A = this chain, B = another copy of it.
Amino acid sequence: MTLEIPEVVINRLPVYARALAALAMDGETVVSSQTLGERLDVTPAQIRKDLSYFGRFGKQGRGYNVLGLLAKLREILGLDRKWQVALVGVGRLGQAIAEYGGFEPQGFQIVAVFDSDPAAVGTTVNEVVVRDSEELDTFLRQNPVDIGVVAVPAHAAQQVVDRLVNAGIRAILNYAPMMPHVPLDVAVRNIDPVLAMQSMTFYIKRQDLTGAK
C-alpha cells in the first residue's frame, strides 16, 4: 500500500525541513515550490514530486504553509520527538561531537558516552560520564538508545558497530574511515571529509586540463 519511497527522497526531506525552519524564522508564512527550490538549488518539480509521496500539503495558487509543511515533514521523519544517542569513542573527535551544540536543538540527546581507555572512563564530557565500553551492551539493554555514533579508530570501528547492532541499535552515524558491515535493517550514514575531498579533486584536476581562463 505504502508505495516504496526512494532513499534519495528521504535524504532530501531534512534539507527541506531546515529551509522551512529558516523561512519561518524570517517570518514567511507561505512558500511556493519555486521559491523553496531557488533557495536550495532544487527544481520545483522535484520538491512537489518528493512531497507527493506523502500526501497533499499545498494549496494551488498559493503554495505551502511554511509552519504546516514543516510540521508535516517533522512528523514524517520522526523529528517530532526526542532521540537518544550513544557516542562511542571520546578522543579528539568524540569530545568535539559531545560538545557540539547542534544536535540537542534538533532533538538528538547524547545520553551515554563510551570509551575503552581506562584513563578516559569516569571523566565527564558535556555533563555525561564516560563509561567503559565493556559496559556498552549491558547499558544499552537497560536504557533506551536509538542512535549510535562511532568515533573510534578505523581498526576498532567494525567491532564497535557489531556491539551496537547486537545491543539492538538500528541507526549508526559512523565517523571512522571505513564502510561498516551491518544487517539490512540497520541504517548507516558515514561522515568522511577525506572521501569528499578525494572526489572533488577529480573535477578540479579536470578543469585544469581543460584549460580554464
Residues of A near any B CB (own CB < 8 A)? 10-11, 13-15, 17-19, 39-41, 76-79, 83, 85, 92-93, 96-97, 99-100, 102-103, 106, 108, 146-147, 170-171, 173, 177-179, 181, 185, 187, 189, 191, 193-205, 207, 212
Contacts and interface: CB of A to CB of B under 8 A. Distances in A.
A165 to B, nearest CB: 13
- Give the dominant DSSP class at A's interface: helix
A192 B97 CA distance: 12
A209 B112 CA distance: 25
Given A15-B195, A77-B198, A187-B200, 8 more contacts: A14-B195, A14-B198, A78-B201, A79-B201, A173-B193, A185-B212, A189-B200, A191-B196
Contacts of A193: 97, 102-103, 173, 189, 191
